Each structure stands twice: as C-alpha cells, then as structure tokens.
Amino acid sequence: MSASLSHPSSTGIGPGAAPEPARARAERRGWAWGGIVTAVGGLAVFVASGPLWPYEDSDILDNARMVDRLGGSAMWWVFVTQVAFTAAALGAVVFGAGLRRRLDRQCPAGSLVPATAHLGMVLVGVMSLVGAGMGTETFHNLRMADRTDPDTIVGELAQLGTYGWAWAGLLLTAAALVVAAFRQGAVSRWIGVVSLLFGFLLLVTQLTPFQYLALFVGVPYLLILGSAFAFGRIRALD
C-alpha cells in the first residue's frame, strides 16, 4: 500500500506541479488589478490637475487673481483628484499585499524582498491618502472662496500638487523586484529589467528637488507591473 504526499506550499506553477483549478488561479491574480487601479488613479490625477493651473505669468504674484481665474468648476476638479487618490491608495495596498504573497512563495525563506516590495506599495498608499486629504480641505475652501483667504487656497493647491504625488516608496518595490529577478529568480528577468529602468528614474526624482515627479514615473511602471501579473502567462512570470 502506498501513499502520495503533496507539498503544502505547492503553487501549481512549478515544474511537475499539479495544475490548479482555473478558479483558484483567477482568484490569485485578482490582487494584480490593484496595481492597475493605482496607475489609473494616478492618471486621473494628471487629467484633473490640468484645469487647476490656468494661470498666466502675470498672475504669479497675485493670488486673488489666480483664484478668480480658477472659476467655480475648480472645486469639482479637486474632488476628482480626491476620489482618484483614494482609489490609488486602496489599490496600492491590495497590490502590495498580493505581491508579497507571491514573492513569499518564490523567494528563499527569510528573504527581505517580499516585505520590502510590500512596504514600498504601502508608502505609495499613504502618500496617496495625504493627497486625498489635501483635496478635501481644498474643495471646501474653493466652495467658500469668497470667504477664504486666496493665499490659503493657492497654498493648498501647491500642496495638493506635491504631497500626494511623491510616490518615492515605489523605489523600494522596484529595487525588491530587481533583486527578485536577478539574484533570486523569483520573477522573470524582463520584470527585473523594467524595474531597474523605472527604479533609476524614480531615484533621479528623489535626488533632485522634484520628488513629486515620481508620480509620472510610477503610473506607467504600475500599469506594466499590474498588467503583467494580471494577464501574463503564469510560467512566463517566474
């Protein structure tokens, strides 16, 4: 009489592993949509921020004139940024949690890579929530623009266009995936190459007084990562 034992940590994607049910594989890919949601949220912030800066050079020293030029629709564009930042924050946390679970299965025991990748996304989520918070305050001050100091409104708009955009935490995620690809073989090498490229661009934003530009780098990077893990072939990602 013989018994067949299966390893409890088997993921169904390694050589010789028994295939997992399609439903199980689909559920395990759901977290990847968090990265796509985060990227789309960041893209929505790009679009909504455009109408918030309709200024001419002559306005730069006159905050009251700046606020007058904004018009009544500005508060609704601020509201869009608040919703977009909130979606980005929630998506980042889900994506980070799923990425950690996946890397835990593929990285050597005790590796810091999964936790580092996860914490990088958590930081992105935190900064996105900061942006959402700035949106709330700015919305109400624009709603009551006739009773609010124009200097306050313009100052809040400047913060709205800075704090929530500082996705520097993504640099940790990119660095972790570079190590996962080239040192540990936990993800495919092409993901490592993409992470190395975007990680370098993120590093440049942090070494200059333009940290908020990290959002512009993070959006395409997360679109690539989220799409790869959501739609790519499972074996191709290993």
> What's the pLDDT tens digit per position in 146-170?
889 989 998 999 899 899 999 999 9
Provide the pLDDT for residue 3. 44
Name the pLDDT band for 60 (thresholds 50, 70, 90).
low
Cα–Cα distance between 226 and 205 in angstroms, integer? 22
Long-range contact set of residues 146-151: C-beta below 8 Å, sequence gap at least 24: 150/63, 150/64, 150/66, 150/67, 151/63
Provide the pLDDT for residue 68. 83
Output the pTM of the full model: 0.83
Name the pLDDT band for 58 (thresholds 50, 70, 90).
low
Task: List the domain boundaries for the chain.
Answer: 26-53+60-237
Provide the pLDDT for residue 54. 63
∠7-10-14 over CA atoms, to 5°? 125
Looking at every residue in the chain, the average pLDDT score rounds to 85
> Could you report the per-residue pLDDT of 183-201, keeping only the tens digit for each?
998 999 999 999 999 999 9
Average pLDDT over residues 33-37: 97
For the cut 80, the answer to whether the pLDDT of residue 99 exceeds it is: yes
Give the rounded percent of residues in the chain with a pLDDT score beyond 70: 82
CB neighbours of 207 closer than 8 A, spacing ≥ 6? none
Strand ranges, E, within the chain: none
User: Crossing angle for the helix pair 33-49 and 113-143, nearest 10 degrees?
Assistant: 30
> Could you report the per-residue pLDDT of 103-143, keeping only the tens digit for each?
999 999 999 999 999 999 999 999 999 999 999 999 999 99
